[in-house]
Amino acid sequence: MPQITERKNARDDEKKAYIVSLLLEQGYGTYARRLQEFDLVVADFYHGHTIEIAAMFPDTGEIVINPGFFEEAESQSVKDRISLVIRHELLHFLLVHERRLYEHLKKVDPEFEKTYRDPTIGQIANIAMD
């Protein structure tokens, strides 16, 4: 199966509308409103990263979700999973994880700008923030 790497398109807008309505239906109105602030991109490879499940890119205002999450989207367990993953990604933004990581690296590493974009640092930080 080829990787889906294109930028946001109309299909992604439909998925975002679906998730917003799902969040509202489940009583997560605040998350639904906050999701409106971001572009939703459905892709499994994005900005040089493989998207296993989902990822938040606060600096570009994007949440990327793997297209596999929308298979059988009518089942309740899949709906709950989509809702949970989107809420999880929004919390990375709401809890200012990226800025907190940046500030921490600035304190402990004089050459933090070299390590800040290191994929290994990002992976370790993401595990800690999760």
Domain shared by 130 and 75, yes or no: no
Number of domains in the chain: 2
Side chain identity, residue 67? P
Q: How far is CA 77 from the centre of its chain?
A: 20
Domain shared by 56 and 102, yes or no: no
* DSSP H or E stretch at residue 50: strand 49-50
Task: Read off the CATH number of the domain in which 59 is found.
Answer: 3.30.2010
Domain shared by 114 and 67, yes or no: no
Domain shared by 60 and 14, yes or no: yes
- Mean pLDDT, the chain, whole residue set: 78
pLDDT of amino acid 100:
61
pLDDT over 90 at 40, yes or no = yes
The region of weakest confidence among 1-5, 51-55, 65-69 is 1-5
Nearest to 121 by CA among 55, 92, 104, 107: 104
Residue 105: φ, ψ to 5°: -60, -35
Domain that holds residue 120: 96-130
d(CA 63, CA 28): 17
pLDDT digits (tens, 9 = 90+) for 76-126: 788 888 999 999 888 887 776 566 666 666 667 777 666 556 656 555 555
Burial category of 84 from C-beta neighbours within 10 Å (exposed 0-12, middle 13-18, buried 19 and up): exposed
d(CA 100, CA 94): 11
49 falls in which pLDDT band (50, 70, 90)?
confident
For 10, the token pair is 């109309």
d(CA 54, CA 44): 9
For 111, the token pair is 């050459």
pLDDT of amino acid 95:
77
